[in-house]
Amino acid sequence: MITKKVFSLLFIILMGITGISTLYGVDCGDVNGDENIDIVDALLISRYYVSLVTSLPYPEVADVNNDTEIDILDALKIAQFYVGLIDVLECSGDPTPNPTQITGTIEISHMSGIQCEMTFYESMEDARNFLEANGITVLGMREEHYPVIAMCGAASGTDYIALIYISDLEKAIELGW
């Protein structure tokens, strides 16, 4: 028969193991632990640095320049990493490679419509939402306008261009991009 003390000890040990795996399961720079290293993480560090918040969800992965301080330089490094200006963040010897450097990116395009036909997407935001709803990570969007023969009141055409990971290209093609 398991006594209350033995059960409590087992519970504490199991909770400790779970806590350790969670702690080490967070990538360097993923300060909020959402499995993405992005501008939100840089913003969290910035807010922490100017004392708008008093703690970080995962401070152990916030010192990305490995200078033993969590400061605005760490926020800057994460922002640079997010936009692809640097390839690696390093927290205490644990480098985190930039996924865009591993998989690569590609621009894809979709016409907003063909002359007199109704547009497929109402706006660039609709195009982005469509891609993301279908599991494609959109890293950036832009519009490209070009002149066309004026018919039906259409003086120009528009393409929506999305920057995605190469690993999402096949799915984007299946969706008509």
Q: List all residues 6 or more positions away from 175 whose beta carbon is below 8 Å from its beta carbon.
A: 130, 131, 134, 136
Q: CB–CB of 81/144 below 8 Å? A: no
How does pLDDT run across 89-123, given as a tens digit for each residue? 888 655 555 554 445 667 788 776 555 555 677 78
Can you list the domains of the chain with their CATH numbers? 4-97 (1.10.1330.10), 104-174 (3.30.1370)
In this prediction the pTM is 0.43
How does pLDDT run across 68-94, given as a tens digit for each residue? 899 999 999 999 999 988 888 888 655
Q: What pLDDT sits at residue 169?
A: 84
